[in-house]
Amino acid sequence: MFHPLQRRPPASIYSYCARWEGRPGPAPALWSRFQWLLGWFQREPGKCPGPKSLLSLLASQCSYVTGQRVRRAQQIGQLYGNIYSERARWSLFSGLWRRFQARHASACKLMAALTGVFLWEEERIQEEELQRSAEEMKHMEEVSRLFHGSGGEHQKLGPKTHVDITATREEHPWEMVMDKKHFKLWRRPIEGTHLYQYRVFGTYTDVTPRQFFNVQLDTEYRKKWDSLVIKLDVIERDLTTGSEVIHWVTHFPYPMYSRDYVYVRRYNVDQENNLMVLVSRAVEHPGIPEDPEFVRVRTYESQMVIRPHKTFDENGFDYLLTYSDNPQTVFPRYCVSWMVSSGMPDFLEKLHTAALKAKRMEIEVQDYISAKPIENSGSEGKASMPGAERKNEDTHSPAQLEYA
């Protein structure tokens, strides 16, 4: 092995080696090589390579080294192809890619933003999130027995009642805001903010769980029954897990500006445990830049869990909806709390009415329960939705600087 030479400017090399002149003993190796190169240039100036020749030599050397690396990579790929199956190779490369992303997470996100690529590996809804929502539903079912007497009658609780519906002692307690016959609404403060997280637990007995679940997921049908929707499109879909990126623009009460949400959602239908789960949360997508006409909501989370009383196709089910977002409004905290507290029951009632209408009028709604995510053993599965519109105007409204 050759020892690497220390790289220094020519002036420094000359001054370093000049100090050895007149000293006893042999000259250093670096000075000997420098003298040989200088003498070669002086003896045969006609054969000295010009700048273009030096660049061509450097390019040929780089191409030679690159060619060797490429051939070596091809040989390794052929070797692994002969040893491992396609599924094993995909698992191996996925593990290496996740390890690379963990070491260079910030650089990968910056590169993805510059190239307009959405990182599904970082942003998709994980299995743990779905499982956590299912566990919260089981806990709520145990707590719901507190609101019914021994004969199964509803017990009315006064407002502002604090009831321990938390799954762990470390969480903030929930404060009851509304207590109706068929649903109850709680809230609790989000630590470090002025916002609340809301939770609704209710029951419907005149619609099937399948119809209610499908109506909530069907974006095209929601454009018809939700008058507040301005735009609702599926932007991209992860073929591996069935997760979808949604762009949702909705009206807000006057005088506030309309809000737009970019969020990823994923659902799971557990036939064995008779449970349906839908989880959504806000993400950043490079293909959906901010529109100056709307206010972008960057903090948003929603979990809907449905438990059929019998089966998916028979009337009757319980549901648990947990919701929080930051609408970025300048109104006081109590105003925002009032709007959300009144808006959530209103939305659920409109969703219920739309499900009943679809059932009675036999409106065709996409069946998400029967659909299964497409398995993809090749590259990371993702599909862009061609029907999604892109809007990027150059006009900017000065009123957006101070929005409600």
Could you give the domains of the chain? Answer: 59-117 (no CATH), 127-147+172-360 (3.30.530.20)
pLDDT tens column, 293-330: 999 999 999 999 999 999 999 999 999 999 999 988 87
**According to the model, what pLDDT value does residue 396 have?**
42
**According to the model, what pLDDT value does residue 66 have?**
82
133 φ/ψ sector (left φ>0, alpha ψ -120 to 50, else beta) = alpha
Reference 236, options 267, 269, 268, 262; nearest CA is 262
| 173 contacts 161 by C-beta, under 8 angstroms | no
Residue 285's contacts (CB-CB under 8 Å, 6 or more residues apart) are: 118, 235, 236, 245, 247, 262
Reference 263, options 241, 287, 280; nearest CA is 280
pLDDT tens column, 233-273: 999 998 888 899 999 999 988 888 999 999 999 999 999 99
Compute the Cα dihedral for 339, 303, 207, 360 and give only its sign.
Answer: positive
pLDDT tens column, 96-123: 666 665 665 555 555 555 445 777 888 8
Q: Any idea how long the chain is?
A: 404
pTM score above 0.85: no
| 119 contacts 111 by C-beta, under 8 angstroms | no
Helix (H) or strand (E) holding 81, with range, is helix 51-83
